[in-house]
A = this chain, B = another copy of it.
Amino acid sequence: MISFVNDYQEGCIPEILEKLQKYNYCANPGYGVDCICENAKKLIKQTVNAPDADVHFITGGTLTNKIVINAFLKSYEGVICVDTAHIATHETGAIEHGGRKVLTVKNHNGKILPSQIESIVNEHIGGLSREHTVKPGMVYISQSTELGTLYCLNELKEISAVCKKHGLLFFIDGARMLTSLFAKDNDCTLANMNALCDVMYIGGTKAGALLGEALIINNSLLKKDFRYILKQNGALMAKGFLMGIQFEGLFENDNYQKYCKSAIEKADKIRMALKNKGIKLEIDSCDTQTFAIFTKEQYQELQAHFDFGGATFKEGLAYARICTSWATTEDSVNALVTAIERL
């Protein structure tokens, strides 16, 4: 059984494993003020070309989203996002548990339009209701999106401009940002995305780290006392150097590039095989996620040898997500491609 269930099913890239051994008996200061973390932060700031940014490491995406939105919005401000956004659908109400309202608009291929931001701001700020509605205070997007699509640079610029116009913070969830850099539709660099937002994070977990997201705070108004906030939210790890190791491992010598590129190439290969076979895609995704629509029979046949983590069945069709990762092997992909060809 070969698994294409998700992009976080394996451990970490070998460079990180080596570092774990190399540093294992070093005595590091606790709570992330060690020199491994410092070096990892330096590498990230260089990569995103933001020497003045503050970088913090947090164990996972939901915790990062919850902390950022709770900390940077006032209690009566809301965060705008699409209805398919991770914070709206897959975090068990973490944002609301943290006291903030999520204001959703209908997604367009997983993405938000600048005009939708304008509309929701106008509905909330203008009108007769005044202080009876929350004030929009932030725009949240995921790059790549939950549907595997990508914002192009121009779209990001437009969103950034609308945010500036209305005094909204712009927050980019980059859980899959590193791999999606290598997607065919991508025209962004880490640096130019980071230059457009107040705060963003680069996911380590889905790019070949054992854990961790690297949060980059650009807006200087948001930097103060952030370690207090981390500690209060249970996000300041005693062995903080563990996360330093992850990001040093990813960014040293740009190690992440070959692994992320590989993950995307594998996904592209699968998409090509599906297309050649005439199997429709639910969404025209370009990251490590492929959303295929099989017949029930096709799905059952593949299921004998490949694990997609289940499917949703509607009207005789099986909607399945096929996911590659930094660790997906050439052999695995070839096996799947062959199986698709034989369907």
Contact = CB atoms under 8 A, between A and B. Distances in A.
Interface in A104-149: 127-135
A100 interface: yes
A181 interface: no
A205 to B, nearest CB: 5
A8 B8 CA distance: 27
A8 B94 CA distance: 29
A295 interface: no
A231 B127 contact: no
Given A131-B225, A225-B76, A5 B25 contact: no
Contacts of A205: 238-239
B27 A231 contact: no
Contact of A101 (B6, B64, B96, B312): B96
Contacts of A241: 11
A63 to B, nearest CB: 3
Contacts of A21: 17
A91 B90 CA distance: 24
A92 interface: yes
B24 A12 contact: yes
Interface in A292-335: 307, 309-310, 312, 327
B310 A128 contact: yes
Interface in A44-93: 59-67, 70-71, 74-76, 78, 89-93
A231 B10 contact: no
A167 interface: no
Contacts of A76: 92-93, 97, 225, 228-229, 231-232
A132 B133 CA distance: 27
Contacts of A2: 27
A39 interface: no
A306 to B, nearest CB: 11
A99 B232 CA distance: 11
A134 B93 contact: yes
Contact of A9 (B5, B29, B99): B29
A173 B236 CA distance: 18
A178 interface: no
A289 B232 CA distance: 24
A292 to B, nearest CB: 15
A189 interface: no
A335 to B, nearest CB: 14
A270 interface: no
Given A11-B25, A128-B310, A101 B93 contact: yes
A221 interface: no
A125 to B, nearest CB: 11
Given A59-B59, A59-B234, A76-B228, 18 more contacts: A5-B30, A8-B238, A9-B29, A60-B236, A75-B93, A75-B97, A75-B229, A89-B129, A90-B133, A92-B134, A93-B101, A96-B96, A96-B102, A97-B100, A97-B101, A135-B228, A211-B238, A234-B235
